[in-house]
Structure 1
């Protein structure tokens, strides 16, 4: 009882007079809870709207009162971060184990400062076991260092010598992991740069992977394994070797099942995402769709990862020509409360996917204002935009399809000319062959005066070459929202329905 009595004494005599947290379960409404409720229900509320809701009138005094309330609530919300629930397995798995280590270290730091060495030692030993089980080397070092200091202060020679051995071993392991993380960070920074920077890092990646593998052979830790695994995936992705990406992700999943990878650390969601992405890019959409249905349960709808996963889920359905399924998935995604909070570029990608889906599906009798808005947005997009890198061809092609359906000859010719210029300026590398082949097919429809039968016959060789050309690596890719082969069939179908005509001719 002495131990808990000492703890009770510390908390009683050193505790704050009022708890610096929000009582969210208190039935009695107060300004703090009202403020949180308003922001939760309407996160885009303006200061004026909040002042009116809380105080009735937007006076200067009420604005100042809100500012004080805002500061107080912010501090209390930050304190509530200590009490979040991290048990849901659909979140990043290592988070709850890492936070458990941090929680122990935080409490021990306070107890140690209060000179409660006995409880400090017990909690540090527990923290050390947790850190070793999770292979959190930095926390192994922290725990061992604090235990060493504690044994020194208490003049405990035997436990001191034991923990020093643990500390030295962990410090060496951490040095290897730090070296590996620096190598990987340098690589990641280059991969997030321009296409030229990514091509440059592609040349040195094999050497860096060898360095990472050498460090892993020394450390044999989860951290070094994970860095090798991710570097290999990045390398194969840059090369367009998607079948190897499937093999690497399958091998990682197998190692996890066999207990050869730390289950407290390995992010199975990332492995799932890369796997279905590789099936998408390797033109195996049906296999990818089956896995996506199975994997989707491992992603929490409140996370950004869920949206990235759903994006590729939709693309798999589009590539499998399951357009109604793609529309269902997109509708499901748009209903997620976090949908409007995505980056503007992400929202525009979703609008582009929606435009393609609505184009290929049978036309609806009623066109909503939102559909008209999206259609107008697509038609007004510029010929080339850096923030839409990878989607410029898709945008121009969708505009072309729209005017082919409208049979507007002038606009069709304008889009074909823009595509030709875009090809000359941006699609000259060997890795852009699929896009260039498709754009050459589109030029055939002009050569054959928009005659579907003649264009199909003239384009046979190009179409076969397109089918035999694999997708390029991620560093160089234009995203095919719908595969070029399927788009060519759609172009021919539109031409069979009627060739585009000049405005003067259409009025005759």
Structure 2
């Protein structure tokens, strides 16, 4: 086999200091990921001539192939990544090597590697790889005319194929649930109605399979069900029970994603209005997330909301700065970037007015003022956007835009907040109408809004199927509105 090695290894030595076109190309993209083709061609070849642009296309294809080959040598030992990844890739690595050895007719080494793969797949409960390795063993024994091991492994294959069928069915059910849960409000309402039946199906599959995959599908579906109903304290209990099972050795430590449990826990503390307790856990849990992963950003988003709900605005500012400095933020989706902009706009508003805003922050504030009163792509954040606009003009004491925003909020309530589950948002928007009814008098507005405020305090957050995101709790926002009115009522611009 050594005589058939390729002449040039299809790899990039990223640690090498030797100059080359390939290295120059990678460095340019690393330092300026948004560079145009003309800029890259000029950087690599000195000039952006037609011939150099054509050469750049070939260089790009060659580098891409070599970078893809680097995937075989990534280090997955960092515990802040998905714990199952390193064990799963061990199985895949063995199966890949066996495929080559089997084609080369090296049956002895193929058998040894396959038996090792079977052990690893059984330990990690990777049933799909166990099926592949067992099937290859069956074929190997058949080709070698070994009837005794052939019959034994054939019997094992039937068993693990049945196990895989149960796991595939559970995974399909769980995926269907997750897709519906992340879809429209109507889809989530329909999902909520069918969840008891789906949970019963998953429980039956778990009783049959008794594997990590069937357990995990059932576990995550249970969390989704509690979330949709707004049973956030129950989510905390379910997640804590799973972590105890892991510590007691009842769950496969090579498969259970503790980071997912961390996220579920702080999310549930946020939604159950326990931000102080959630902050204590978030400070500890964030260490288990790798900064390059999307999970790190998603966790930080809820860490930030916990800080805002606890009134820890300086901490929120620190978290925003930490996120902004992470180079991996360039890979975030546009919707996620817009959410971060909205959070930053709120933090900039509630921090002391003496804080000087950067040009970027002033630009963000202006963009928020121009957003429409309703946008489907910002579902769940429409009220937050319109309230932020209202707060801005209350601070500016500019009457006409204040009246315009109050009217927009009134119409939004009538059109989009009609369900019983939107009670918190409706109560808050009714409170905002009180300030206009009382001619922006803070004392009269506070007195008139007292009963509405108490109802708001007594109303728990709705389930995720129906939620408008409260970046700052409505109760706290009402206090901010009254404070702004105490500084002076809005007046007609001169």
Contact persistence 1:128–1:144 (CA under 8 A): yes
Shift of 1:190: 2.1
Which structure 1 residue ranges, 4+ long, deviate > 4 Å from structure 2?
none
Task: Tell me whether 1:403 sits opposite 2:393 in the alignment.
Answer: yes
Does residue 47 of structure 1 match 2:12?
A: no
Structure 2: runs of 5+ lacking an equivalent: none
Distance 1:365 1:280 in 2: 28
1:481 aligns with 2:471: yes
Determine the structure 2 residue equivalent to 1:275.
265
CA distance in structure 2 between the partners assigned to 1:235 and 1:244 by the alignment: 10
Q: Deviations over 1:388-419 (max 9, x none)?
A: 11000001101111111111111111110000
Q: Which residue of structure 2 aligns with residue 285 of structure 1?
A: 275
**3-state SS in 1 of match to 2:327:** coil
* Matches of 2:185 and 2:374, distance apart in 1: 16
Higher mean displacement: 147-156 or 391-400: 147-156
Q: C-alpha distance in 2, partners of 1:333/1:149?
A: 52
Give per-residue Cα distances to partners, 1:35-84, cap 9 Å, x unaligned: 11111121111111111111111111111111111111111111111111
Shift of 1:185: 2.2
2:306 is matched with which residue?
Answer: 316
Q: Write the distance in 2 (CA, Å) between the matches of 1:35 and 1:61.
A: 16
Partner SS, residue 160 of structure 1: helix
| 2:228 alignment counterpart | 238
Please give the alpha-carbon distance, in whole angstroms, between the structure 1 residues aligned to 2:355 and 2:67: 49
Q: Is the 8 A contact 1:289 1:316 kept in 2?
A: yes
CA shift for structure 1 position 365: 5.1
1:32 to partner: Cα distance: 1.0
State which of 202, 216, 220 in structure 1 corresponds to 2:210: 220
Task: Give the Cα–Cα distance (whole angstroms) in 1 for the partners of residues 10 and 355 of structure 2.
Answer: 57
Query: How much does 1:29 deviate?
Result: 1.3
State yes or no: 1:102 paired with 2:89.
no
In the superposition, the TM-score normalised over structure 1's length comes to 0.96
In 1, Cα distance between equivalents of 2:386 and 2:80: 38
Counterpart of 1:93 in structure 2 is: 83
- Tell me: CA distance 1:365–1:140, structure 2 relative to 1, closer, same or farther (3 Å): closer
- Residue equivalent to 1:5: none
Q: Distance in 1 between matches of 2:356 and 2:274?
A: 35
Deviation at 1:156, TM superposition (A): 1.7
2:9 aligns with 19
**What runs of 5+ residues in structure 1 fail to find an aligned partner?**
1-9
Post-superposition shift, 1:193? 2.1
Q: 2:378 matched to 1:366?
A: no
Q: Return the alpha-carbon distance in structure 2 between the equivalents of residues 344 and 27 of structure 1.
A: 36
The reply on whether 1:503 has 2:489 as its aligned counterpart is no
Q: Which residue of 2 aligns with 1:7?
A: none
Name 1:441's counterpart in structure 2: 431
Deviation of the 1:189 alpha carbon? 2.5
**What is the distance in 1 between the residues matched to 2:85 and 2:461?**
36
1:165 Cα deviation from its structure 2 partner: 2.3
Contact 1:288 1:316 in 2 (8 A): yes
Q: Distance in 2 between matches of 1:462 and 1:86?
A: 53
2:48 pairs with 1:58:
yes
The secondary structure found in structure 2 opposite 1:259 is coil
Residue 181 of structure 1: how far off its partner (Å): 1.5
Contact 1:111 1:117 in 2 (8 A): yes
The answer for the alignment partner of 1:138 in structure 2 is: 128
Distance in 1 between residues matched to 2:173 and 2:306, nearest whole Å: 33
* TM-score with structure 2 setting the length: 0.98
- Aligned counterparts of 1:462 and 1:376: Cα–Cα separation in 2: 32
Structure 2 CA distance, aligned partners of 1:186 and 1:159?
Answer: 40
Are 1:386 and 2:382 matched, yes or no? no
> Is 1:80 the counterpart of 2:70 in the alignment?
yes
Q: d(CA) in 1 for partners of 2:23 and 2:451?
A: 68
Q: Deviations over 1:309-338 (max 9, x none)?
A: 000000000000011011111111111011
Please give the secondary structure, in 2, of the residue aligned with 1:338: helix
* Aligned residue number for residue 457 of structure 1: 447
Q: Does the CA contact (< 8 Å) of 1:340 and 1:347 recur in 2? A: no
